[in-house]
Amino acid sequence: MAPNRTWKNFLEGDSSSFGELYNEYFQELFMYGLKLGFTQETVQDAVQDVFYTIYVSRNKLDYVDNIEFYLLHCLKNRLFDLYKQEEKISAVCYDDLIVEEDQTIVDQMMEKEEQDELRKKVQKLVKGLSPKQRKIIYYRYQLNLNYNEIGIILKLHPTSVKKAFHRAIKKIKDDSGSSFRSILLALCY
């Protein structure tokens, strides 16, 4: 069943849909947490916490268009909450901070405008890719996963992942022209 339909069924009270969501996304969430640098135990606990919270608060939740993004976002927030609890972040001593204002407000505005323009170009180029290629680009550049890890998540052979990745990059390169390097850097961040 499609993930969005499964999510909708879960919100409507179908408990078996919750199990489907868990089975569908556990591995991806787990790998994402590891890529963020957390231990296996911490990531497992955080994934369990996310699914527990979703289950107990399902009556308060709304439909989301992209359940994958929603779950990744929830996990990231939970992991950083756990990190803050473990580290007991100390108060910042403001006397130790050095503030340098070497950019004027106009420079900052121009830089932001250039970044926004580049972001729009990247979004347009990525939308031109197939859904599978978009996922591979996302996993490779945003989650920093290797071909084997992406293959596990997408249930594809690593060679197939690599071919699809290179085809996607070639398409982006062909469509972006001279701004390919800046587009590639934007994909990484």
Least confident of 46-55, 76-85, 97-106: 97-106
Average pLDDT estimate for 74-81: 86
Q: Which spans in the chain are helix H?
A: 3-11, 15-35, 40-56, 67-87, 105-127, 131-137, 147-154, 158-176, 180-188
Section 132-157 average pLDDT? 84
**pTM for the predicted model, two decimal places:** 0.52
- CB-CB contact of 176 with 165 (8 Å): no
Higher pLDDT, 3 or 153: 153
Specify the pLDDT at position 163: 94
pLDDT band at 31 (very low <50, low <70, confident <90, very high): confident
Pick the CATH number of 104-188 from 3.40.140.10, 1.10.10.10, 3.30.1330.10, 3.90.960.10: 1.10.10.10
Average pLDDT over residues 8-12: 83
CATH number for the domain whose boundaries are 3-87: 1.10.1740.10
* Structure confidence at residue 137 (pLDDT): 82
Asked if pLDDT for residue 93 goes beyond 50, the answer is no
pLDDT, position 95: 47
Cβ contact 159:150 at 8 Å:
no
What pLDDT band is residue 52 in, cutting at 50, 70 and 90?
A: very high
* pLDDT computed for residue 179 by the predictor: 66
Question: Domain extents for the chain?
Answer: 3-87, 104-188
3-87 and 104-188 in the same fold: no
Among 69-78, 85-94, 145-154, whose mean pLDDT is lowest?
85-94
